[in-house]
Structure 1
Amino acid sequence: MLDNGTSDDNRPDGAPGRLATTALITGAAHGIGEEVARQLSRLGTRVVVSARNPVDAAAAVERVDGAEALPVGLDISDQESVDTAAAAFAARWAHLDILINNAAAHPDRDETPSRANLAIATDAFQVTLFGTWRTTQAFLPLLRRSNHPRIVNVSSGAGSHTDERYGFPVFGGTAATHAISKAALNAFTAVLAAELADTPVIVNAVCPGVTATVPGAEAFGARPVEESAPGVVWAATLPDDGPRGGFFRDAQPLGW
């Protein structure tokens, strides 16, 4: 487990000591985000769960031992919401060690490039790409207060040229916006990592694989969230000499 080695002014019990490793997960009120919160919390991480509706975040922490809810909503597609959430976080927690950009638009599995509704596609990019981008910008100052900051962008092999399971050539151009936006997210990851190469901030993208986040998904080959979350947790808890700017599934490199 990471330890940022800073004296803790915000320990809930008021005791002196060292700050707990603190993680913020977007879109964590259900599915893989909630499971990542659960697994990080078991490692002793102070996990802050966020969702567009703070009521949903509060409900999620009832199911995740040790987690706390961001007291305001975090809609990553809305700049004002992101700024408000960052200010609320800073008022409660002095620093941020791990930012997991998990929130994303829901894919239309049948959409192809030639038939895509570009207005809907634009909205999806506002979440998957620009939402992650603006959230990272807003929380980066808090990450810079950590000695071991990590950013994990939850991506997809659908945004890869070479992934034999989910990549561009596999499904005949379907789920077009999902694939293109995830490719853009991977590019953002690489460029951000290059900018931060000489800093402690380690940035990577992770494909969790096709995950059963809705009832019945297992029948279509999706694996349980318990099996998909560890790859995200691995990237969130990398050592200081860990990889940067990479794309991974289950802690193994993926081609772009």
Structure 2
Amino acid sequence: MTKYAFVTGANKGIGYEAVRQLAEKDYHVFLGARNPELGEKAIESLGLPNVSLVLVDISNAESIQEAFKQIQEVTDHLDLLINNAGIAVDFNIKPSKLKVEALRQGFDVNFFGTFQMIQSFLPLVQKAARGKIVNLTTDMASQTMFDNGEAGPLNLLGYNSSKTAVNSLTLAFSKEFGENGPEIFGVTPGFTTTDLNGNAPGGKTPAEGAEIIVDYALSETNYHGKILNKNGIIPW
């Protein structure tokens, strides 16, 4: 039986590489992209028959519903939902200088967008034999690690706090789902050089970052309700 995965924000970076890696493991992967032209280019460059483009803007409820309908026309179940799409709008901006509009914009995509994706696609994930929802996070969203210097040093109030909220959302849904599933957890790939951080040097490649996410997504170990980095479970 064909396994299906949906990766948002997947026309570039970590999302793109996650699509490629899952497709190579015989998943039919829906590549989520907000921009039709960039989505088509990503599909073309992958050149894989088991990858389909699904247009989705996760900050738009109507767009999410259209994506749901499109996927539902192909399959009645979704084995894997990877909520990868996200933005960071406050690089090099101190918390005291951050405009509230930018803070709202970050939460609108990273938190409310992820929330709406989970709510909307839950019926399809629940129908899979072992459905999983993976939320992308950052080590800087771990209050414990950020405070004691174990995480990245970037004091990005907008990005970091929106991802802390995603961690809270992950925990809340895990409590609701309980042992009956689906399994939901968060993963941080750690510092990865992508467009999100202006391609800052010194990080993992997108392929290396994606590999961490895909390995957890396909793991036989149950990580329900946890947040993880490459070494395992990390503190809230």
Alpha-carbon shift at residue 196 of structure 1 (Å)? 0.6
Q: List aligned pairs for 1:55-94, cutoff 5 A.
A: 55-64=37-46, 65-71=48-54, 73-94=55-76
Matched residues in 1 for 2:92 and 2:73: separation?
43
Count of aligned positions: 231
Q: List aligned pairs for 1:33-182, cutoff 5 A.
A: 33-64=15-46, 65-71=48-54, 73-163=55-145, 164-166=149-151, 170-171=153-154, 174-182=155-163
Instruction: Show structure 1 runs of 5+ residues with no match.
Output: 1-17
SS at match of 1:105: coil
Is the 8 Å Cα contact of residues 204 and 235 (structure 1) preserved in structure 2? no
Matched residues in 1 for 2:6 and 2:84: separation?
10
SS at match of 1:204: strand
Matched residues in 1 for 2:229 and 2:45: separation?
26
The normalised TM-score by structure 1 is: 0.84
Alpha-carbon shift at residue 67 of structure 1 (Å)? 4.0
What is the one-letter code of the residue matched to 1:22?
Answer: Y
Residues 33 and 129 (structure 1), Cα distance of their counterparts in 2 relative to 1, 3 Å cut: same
Is 1:223 aligned with 2:204?
yes
Alpha-carbon shift at residue 190 of structure 1 (Å)? 0.7
Q: List aligned pairs for 1:8-47, cutoff 5 A.
A: 18=1, 20-47=2-29
Aligned to 1:14: none
Structure 1 window deviating more from structure 2 (106-115 vs 144-153): it is 106-115
Structure holding more helix per residue: 2
Is the 8 Å Cα contact of residues 24 and 100 (structure 1) preserved in structure 2? yes
Aligned to 2:217: 236
Matched residues in 1 for 2:63 and 2:207: separation?
30
Is the 8 Å Cα contact of residues 126 and 182 (structure 2) preserved in structure 1? yes
Query: Percent identity over the alignment?
Result: 31
Alpha-carbon shift at residue 150 of structure 1 (Å)? 0.5
What is the one-letter code of the residue matched to 2:151?
Answer: Y
What is the one-letter code of the residue matched to 1:38?
Answer: R
SS at match of 2:134: strand
Instruction: Show structure 2 runs of 5+ residues with no match.
Output: none
Alpha-carbon shift at residue 184 of structure 1 (Å)? 0.4
Larger Rg: 1
The normalised TM-score by structure 2 is: 0.91
Matched residues in 1 for 2:184 and 2:30: separation?
19
Alpha-carbon shift at residue 32 of structure 1 (Å)? 0.3
Deviations 1:11-55 (A, max 9, x none): xxxxxxx2x111000000000000011111111111110111233
Q: List aligned pairs for 1:168-207, cutoff 5 A.
A: 170-171=153-154, 174-207=155-188
